[in-house]
Amino acid sequence: MQPKPFGWGVSLLLLGIVIVMAIVPLLLIRDSEFGGADAAAEEAIAEVAPDYEPWFTPLFEPPGGETESLLFAVQAAIGAGLIGYFFGLKHGQRQARASTSAQRAPTGQAVAERVTE
Amino acid sequence: MDKRWKRWLLVVIGAALLLLFEGRPAYAMHIMEGFLPPLWAAFWFVVTLPFWVIGLRQINRLIAEKPETRLLLGLAGAFTFVLSALKIPSVTGSSSHPTGTGLGTILFGPMVMSVLGTIVLLFQALLLAHGGLTTLGANAFSMAVVGPLVAWGIWKGLKDRAPVWVTVFLAAALANLSTYVVTSVQLALAYPDAVGGFAASFVKFGTIFAVTQIPLAISEGILTVLIFNALQTNAETELQTLGVLKGA
């Protein structure tokens, strides 16, 4: 099937769905801190294998939630920056192409006229 | 004027998303450091190793033969980077994050994605105590090998039969979901229930991870459709170079 990109309206609508899906649980479930699913898994491990001792500890652990969220924000920012750069560049290239071909069109016409003369 | 407005809108949305998702302390979704017995940890490293080797070779060849796709390679990595950092609340009352591996798989194939995904996991293991070095093999196998393989299968199978957005959505969403199914399998194998064995344990871990993950898989599918759509608009040439889309 020949792909056809959709426009801004659909994009915003889709983004809206993602945001709503993230907000709804926050509104519905009041008595939760929304901890990581892995912390829950850790508890389950403790249930199944109460004697298990982790045999290796992280080499570096963020001292607290603040530093951890800082590092996650940095991670997201690096990624988002790269994505922004990519699309900015491509957008600019596309515009440059469009303007050079617009400039070329009359020249092409002039050549064609000269040929017919 | 109109274009300027659109650009600012994008900036505002981006900032809002960051505030929304980054404002609270984050946890991890991968298997934590030291939480797999040494034998299992080693086993998953061995299983994952061939994918890394082949993936690295493919990346080297790609850069040598099609240097113009380097930027797109960076984009695929960046997409995983961002999505892995977004801890999104889910219906079970816990949070988890998208994996972002669907996009890179569609663009470059599962082997290349296994390398990109592992880089992200390594970053998180080293700096964020999220996942771990000893569990890197296992986490890479679930997120950077099985997820991409599932996405690849769907992409290849449905590409010419369904609208592109449906295929992209399914590939990304199911890659995400399968990642956490594999995580549950890995934990259940390492920690079989004393009474019910592997099956009982799998159900226990599966409910923790997979159920949380379903809404996130849908979110990931949508986000991947969005970025793929943007690529179709802005980077059509590159998509054709990679053979992702046929020339019009």
Question: So what's the pLDDT on residue A114?
Answer: 55
* Interchain CB contact of B37 with A (< 8 Å): yes
Do B239 and B232 meet the contact criterion of CB atoms below 8 Å apart? yes
pLDDT, residue B21, reads: 42
In a domain, A3, yes or no: no
Answer yes or no: is A2 within a domain. no
- In chain B, the residue whose alpha carbon lies closest to the alpha carbon of A17 is B219
Which residue has better confidence, B89 or B17?
Answer: B89
Q: Cβ contacts of residue B73 below 8 Å, gap of 6+? A: B59, B62, B63, B108, B112, B116
Interface of A with B in 64-103 (CB under 8 A): 65-66, 68-69, 71-73, 75-84, 86-87, 89-91, 94
**C-alpha angle with apex B15: B12 to B19, nearest 5 degrees?**
135
Classify residue A101: in a domain, yes or no: yes
User: Which pLDDT belongs to residue A98?
Assistant: 85
**Whole-prediction pTM:** 0.80
B153 neighbors B189 (Cβ within 8 angstroms): no
Alpha carbon of residue A22 to chain centroid: 15
What pLDDT band is residue A112 in, cutting at 50, 70 and 90? low
State the DSSP string of B183-216: HHHHHHHHS-BTTTHHHHHHHHHHHHHHHHHHHH
Provide the percentage of residues in chain B whose pLDDT is more than 90: 46
ipTM of the complex: 0.74
Say which residue the tokens 């069109």 belong to: A105
Q: CB neighbours of B122 closer than 8 A, spacing ≥ 6?
A: B136
Do A29 and B212 contact (CB within 8 A), yes or no?
no
Given this model, what pLDDT does residue B22 score?
37
CB contact under 8 A, B133 and A44: no
- Is the pLDDT assigned to residue B80 strictly greater than 70? yes
Contact B13 A15 (CB under 8 A): yes
Q: Is residue A4 pLDDT above 50, yes or no?
A: yes
B119 to chain A, any CB pair closer than 8 A? The answer is no
Among candidates B94, B132, B215 on the partner chain, residue whose Cβ is nearest the Cβ of A34: B94
Quote the pLDDT of residue B128.
Answer: 79
Q: In the structure, what pLDDT confidence band is assigned to residue B84 with cuts at 50, 70 and 90?
A: confident
Which residues from chain A sit within 8 angstroms of residue B18, using beta carbons? 73, 76-77, 80
pLDDT in tens, B9-35: 666 665 555 444 433 323 346 888 888
B88 bridge partner residues: B96
In a domain, A1, yes or no: no
Give the nearest chain A residue to B215 (CA atoms). Answer: A21
Domain range for residue A44? Answer: 8-116
| Residue B248 banded pLDDT, cuts 50, 70, 90 | very low
- Please report whether residue A40 resides in a domain: yes
Is A57 contained in some domain? Answer: yes
B164 to chain A, closest Cα gap in Å: 6
pLDDT > 80? residue A82 = yes
> What pairs with residue B96 in β-bridges?
B88
User: Which burial class, exposed, middle or buried, applies to B18 when counting CB atoms under 10 A from its CB (0-12, 13-18, 19+)?
Assistant: middle
Q: Do A79 and B96 touch (CB under 8 A)?
A: no
Which of A45, A83, A89 minimises the CB distance to B35? A45
B85–chain A Cβ distance below 8 A for any pair: yes
Report the DSSP pairing between strands B88-89 and B95-96: antiparallel
Rounded Cα distance between A87 and A96, Å, is 14
| Domain membership flag for residue A59 | yes
Amino acid at residue number B91 = V
The total number of structural domains that make up chain A: 1
What pLDDT was estimated at residue A48? 66
Residue B194, pLDDT score: 81
Quick: pLDDT tens for B105-128: 999 999 999 999 999 999 888 887
A2 CB burial (10 A radius; 0-12, 13-18, 19+)? exposed
- Is B53 part of the contact surface with chain A (CB cutoff 8 Å)? no
**Domain assignment of residue A52, yes or no:** yes
Q: d(Cα A41, Cα A35) in Å, to the nearest integer?
A: 11
pLDDT of A111 above 60 = no
Position B40, amino acid: W
Q: What is the pLDDT of residues B128-185, one digit of tens each?
A: 778 888 999 999 999 999 999 999 999 999 988 888 999 999 999 999 999 988 988 9
Q: How confident is the prediction for chain A on average, in pLDDT?
A: 76
